[in-house]
Structure 1
Amino acid sequence: MTTFAKDAFQGKTAIVVGGSRGIGKAIAERLAAAGAAVAISYVNSATAAEQIAEKIRQQGGSAIAIQADISQLSAISALFDKTEVSLGKPDIVVANAANYIPALLSEATEEQYDTVFNTNTKGIFFVLQEAARRVTDGGRIIVTSTGGTKMYFTMNAIYLGSKGAVEQFVRVLSRELGARGITVNAVSPGFTNTDLLPERDRAVAADMSPFKRIGEPEDVADVTVFLASDAGRWITGQNIGAGGGVF
């Protein structure tokens, strides 16, 4: 486990979109442990999000949980509004929310397509737009993508298509915000120990890594938090692989 200095993010405010479980939870906890005030957004996992926020507060940090379905544009602006009122103007925005529906391209339905793209692509696009307008100069914007965009998988056309678009958003926005000293990057996890990885696939996934294991959420969180730190100031417009050598 990587530890960051307790004051590395002192005085900073972070929004972690999709921060109630898995990788998002680990990112929120890492940022808070290093001094950031953290807004944790969730869609349905109210109890989990509140528990994380309470744990951070009990450890002397500052955190709130905010319900926000980013497929609804009004929810995005409300998330930023509530964060600013409670914690201050955001310095760091991590866009981690995603929907995943496996389906053969030849059999996928319009409903499946819309469900995934409304969150993963449209939702993230407008989170990035709001972040571009509100993040402080010198801030950090980070999106969670997937190493799957560099690989070939059946049943994943909708999901990988949605993430591929976001990777392009990151490249463009990094150019648009460079004059303000804001970095914009993507982090692409590999096979990670979250509820998105089926049990049946875990042994094969572990064997694909030279480390012979699947990743833990903290493995990805450490890369994300590095990019959010001052040490990541010279990295922008990049898609950083955090997949344990799988891709």
Structure 2
Amino acid sequence: MISTTQQGRFVGKAAVVTGGSRGIGAAVARRLAAEGAAVAIGYRGNQEAADALVAELAAMGGQAIAVQADVADPGQTAALIERTVVEFGHLDVVASCAGVEHFGALETITPADFDRVFTVNTRGQLFTVQHAVPHLPAGGRIVLTSSVSASKAVFHHALYAASKAAVESMVLNLSAELGTRGIAINAIAPGGTNTDMAAENAQRYVHPDLAGTQEPARLLGTRYALRRLAEPEEVAAGYAFLASEDAAYMTGRTLRLDGGAF
């Protein structure tokens, strides 16, 4: 069972987490559930992982459902939100964690690449907000996902970084509009995090001149003051903070969780 001390901040709250079946999204779902939230886990294709997470949270004493929804399709996002409200009776927290990675030299980027990356990373998050807001009460919380790449140069990473920089601008500008409804919107910009996506792309975060000199994760770790990548649970703590009353006077901001990247 989830202990009383863990339940505090989200007891009686309902949350939706897009991209919730893996990586940071799964860690966010676990953290919100551990603090008492009923959680809808949105996933694109990995039903097995999503169902396993629902079972895990249920075994902890939590309440969770898994809903297939590709954020590239606003209709599926709307259905995810509606299902959450029907299942739990209300919606209080939105954690938008779905995203795709991209590396490529300028001359290799195609219009299809642009559309794929911006459709998920930027448009997908915008329409998640649009569909969620009518259901959120005053005091509702929205947390989107940016990246330290939005403000830090990485070789061959321009397209991805641009899609995340747009998210930060979106959060800043929507904060004024949503503030009139009493809704706060912020973003998390994670640094290198120990997920399967990071493992798949670690070598690409290393400048070509340094490729092969060390194991990629170790080399990346030297770029952080804390000398290591983050664990997903550490990043999830940031989402939980922004979704809670502890961040009641914070909106329009992007919180960097980068271990002191330099």
TM-score (norm 1): 0.95
Could you tell me which amino acid in structure 2 is paired with residue 14 of structure 1? Answer: A
* Alignment partners' CA distance in 1, 2:177 and 2:48: 37
- Contact kept, 8 Å, 2:72 with 2:119, in 1: the verdict is yes
* Change in CA separation of 1:4 and 1:238 when aligned onto 2, cut-off 3 Å: farther
Residue 64 of structure 1: aligned partner: 65
- Point out where structure 2 has 5 or more consecutive residues left out of the alignment: 204-215
Shift of 1:179: 2.4
Residue 148 of structure 1: aligned partner: 149
- Contact kept, 8 Å, 2:20 with 2:42, in 1: the verdict is yes
Q: Residue 203 of structure 1 is aligned with which of 218, 232, 236?
A: 218
Q: Which stretches of structure 1, 4 residues or longer, exceed 2 Å deviation after superposition?
A: 198-201
Residue 224 of structure 1: aligned partner: 239
Aligned residue runs from structure 1 range 68-83, under 5 A: 68-83=69-84
* Alignment partners' CA distance in 2, 1:147 and 1:4: 32
* Change in CA separation of 1:91 and 1:4 when aligned onto 2, cut-off 3 Å: farther
Larger radius of gyration: 2
Residue 182 of structure 1: aligned partner: 183
* Alignment partners' CA distance in 1, 2:59 and 2:5: 19
Shift of 1:110: 1.6
Residue 33 of structure 2: aligned partner: 32
* Change in CA separation of 1:161 and 1:207 when aligned onto 2, cut-off 3 Å: same
Residue 94 of structure 1: aligned partner: 95
Q: How many pairs were matched up?
A: 245
* Change in CA separation of 1:131 and 1:137 when aligned onto 2, cut-off 3 Å: same
Residue 127 of structure 1: aligned partner: 128
Give the percent of matched residue pairs that are identical in Structure 1 and Structure 2: 41
Residue 253 of structure 2: aligned partner: 238
Residues 170-221 of structure 1: CA deviation (Å, up to 9, x unaligned): 1111111112221100100001101222354311211111111111101110
Shift of 1:73: 1.3
- Contact kept, 8 Å, 2:145 with 2:167, in 1: the verdict is no
- Point out where structure 1 has 5 or more consecutive residues left out of the alignment: none
